Structure formats: C-alpha cells, structure tokens
Amino acid sequence: MTTSFDAIVIGAGVAGLTAAAIVARGGLRCLCIDRMGPGGLLINLGALVDCPDLPAGTSGPDHVASLTDDAMGAGAELAIGEVQSLRPGDVWTVQTESESFTARAVIVATGLGNGRLGIDDEARFEGQGLSHCAACDGPLYAGADVMVAGADRWALQEAIELAETAGRTTVVTGTATLDTADPRIRHLTSLPNVAVLPGRILGLQGEDGLQSVVLDQGGRQAAVPVRGLFVYTDRRPATDFAGDLVTRDEGLRIRVDENQRAGASLLYAAGDVRAGAVQSVAEAAADGRRAGQAVLGALAG
C-alpha cells in the first residue's frame, strides 16, 4: 500500500527536521524519512560550537531532541527507511527498501557520508581503530596515540576534542594550507600533545585492530604508531536515488536556486547535500527553513 503526503523530506538531520516542522506547521501533511532515525550528524557530536542561536554548550543530541519535538509537535510524521528511488509523475513516488510513499513535493536533505581515505583495507579497519566520531570513540583511546585525517574546521575541532584525553594526536592535513591566523588552528597547534603534518595516508597496519598508519610526506614514507584514526576527508553525498533528476557539482552535491529548487518541479535540496553549503548547523537550519517555506508557497492554493 502506498501512503500519500503533501510533502516528503528525505533525511532527518538539522535541515530535514527544520523543513518538516515548517511544512507541517503550515498545515500540510508531511513525512520525514531517515534510514537511521532522527538526528543525522548531530547525534554523534558533543558540545556544538559556532552555533550563535543555541545556548552555549548545547550538545548535538540535545539539539536533535528539540528539533524532533518541534517537527513532531507541528504534526510532521517520521518514518525509518532508506530511500532507494525517487520517481517523477503526477506526484513523486519515494521508495524505501520496504515501503512506497507519494507526495506532491520532495525535499532532499540527506547530508554527506562519512570521511574516506580511498585506500585498500579501509573497510577492514572500520570500527577496529578507524572512526569518524570523536565524541563516540574518543574515550576508547584515552592515553593512546591517535591520528586525525582532515583539514577542514570540523576535523580540526575534533582533533582539539581528542587531544584532551588522547596521548599524542597527529593531524594529517593532506595538501591543505592552514590559515595560521584562525584562532581554532592557533589553539590546536599550541597544544603540547598535538602535531600537525602535511602528508598523505598510504596504508593501515595491524593484525588485531589498528597499530600504525603509513604516511607519505613529500616522498618520505614512515609508519606512525597509532591506535585510533579519525577520518574526515572526502565526505560525499549519496544521492543515487535521485538519478539524473538533479544536477550536481564536482563533489556530487545537488545544485539549487535561491529557493532551494533542485531542477525538477517541486523537488528541493537543503543542508550539507546542497552544492556550496558551508556545512554548519546554522546554515543547514536556514536551508531547511527556506526549503520548507518554498514548499508551502508552491503548494498553497
């Protein structure tokens, strides 16, 4: 049986929950579907930073609870399922592994996937030393040496968090040039147990969990002993379900216009999945609000 809605939001992170709350509060029947349940990235974050609209120290899970209450309080429905396909027609058909839904409008808010290194053996070490979440897995490495792969602000923020409890924390920044005037970078590099290195990760070693990471630094290779490796590089969206209904940038993120419209009629994208997103809670919420308002405007009357 297919259940019909006015709007379906795919992804229940900040962008999706915010959009769903706006659409439902506007009196439309709205379903928000997520493969994991509500929260997205925020579920795995400790105290959020750079969130001017939230009380200082608000944690990711606390904010998820408030966004979920808001969306459900407004009347949005939540479902768990991984969207496999999106088909146009008189209405959109959204297919998960086990259910089919239709809606007049669809908002894609599926964020970005975990960081990747793109090397052999990566999958073998996933959960065996390789992680993407300092708040969840950092405590496992208290006192042990760890490495962070990535140079964007959130990778560096995670490194600061890890350095509070880890032994030596090595941050491998690839070819990125860090802005040494940035207070976050100044703070990170001032920590006595932190080393920030350019370089490329070539391989992972260890029999029973991770024991060392092979680094290339300008042609010189070395195995650096670490127990935990936190990877934030090359995070990509997974929007195969939208096929060629959308256009994408070189990072596979969905291009939208100023009203979050993603090309096809009554199809929108919001949050980190959107081309040009700066990747922050505030911006994902603003995207979600804009997409929600655009749906209300398009379906009114």
Ligand X SMILES: Cc1cc2nc3c(=O)[nH]c(=O)nc-3n(C[C@H](O)[C@H](O)[C@H](O)COP(=O)(O)OP(=O)(O)OC[C@H]3O[C@@H](n4cnc5c(N)ncnc54)[C@H](O)[C@@H]3O)c2cc1C
Q: Which of 68, 173, 260, 280 binds ligand X (CB under 6 A)?
A: 280
Minimum CB distance to ligand X smaller for 10 or for 212:
10
Distance CA 17, CA 9 (A): 8
Rounded (5°) CA angle 13-19-23: 145
Distance CA 173, CA 151 (A): 5
Q: Which of 106, 281, 294, 295 binds ligand X (CB under 6 A)?
A: 281
Residue 118's φ and ψ, nearest 5 degrees, are 70, 35
Rounded (5°) CA angle 252-258-263: 55
Q: Nearest CA to 170 among 103, 224, 248?
A: 224
Quick check: 160 binds ligand X (CB under 6 A)? Answer: no
Quick check: 31 binds ligand X (CB under 6 A)? Answer: no
Q: Nearest CA to 4 among 108, 80, 77?
A: 77
Task: Report, in Å, the least distance between residue 3 CB and ligand X.
Answer: 16
Rounded (5°) CA angle 25-31-32: 100
Task: Report, in Å, the least distance between residue 40 CB and ligand X.
Answer: 2
Quick check: 271 binds ligand X (CB under 6 A)? Answer: yes
Minimum CB distance to ligand X smaller for 52 or for 219:
52
Minimum CB distance to ligand X smaller for 212 or for 272:
272
Q: Nearest CA to 285 among 15, 13, 65?
A: 15
Residues 99-138 that bind ligand X (CB under 6 A): 109-111
Minimum CB distance to ligand X smaller for 10 or for 201:
10
Are the C-beta atoms of residues 275 and 247 closer than 8 Å to each other?
A: no
Q: Which of 8, 30, 42, 130 binds ligand X (CB under 6 A)?
A: 42
Question: Which residue's entry shows tokens 């029973």?
Answer: 208
Minimum CB distance to ligand X smaller for 112 or for 266:
112
Are the C-beta atoms of residues 166 and 138 closer than 8 Å to each other?
A: yes
Q: Which two tokens stand for residue 224?
A: 């650096």
Part in contact with ligand X (CB under 6 A); list of ranges 1-9, 27-35, 165-173, 256-264: 27-35
Minimum CB distance to ligand X smaller for 27 or for 243:
243
Quick check: 241 binds ligand X (CB under 6 A)? Answer: yes
Quick check: 12 binds ligand X (CB under 6 A)? Answer: yes
Q: Which of 34, 101, 125, 215 binds ligand X (CB under 6 A)?
A: 34
Distance CA 70, CA 20 (A): 9
**Full strand arrangement of the beta sheet holding 220-225:** 200-205, 212-217, 220-225
Quick check: 58 binds ligand X (CB under 6 A)? Answer: no
Task: Report, in Å, the least distance between residue 152 CB and ligand X.
Answer: 8
Catalog residues that contact ligand X under the rule CB under 6 A: 10-16, 33-36, 40-42, 45, 48-51, 82-83, 109-111, 154, 157-158, 238, 241, 271-272, 279-282, 284
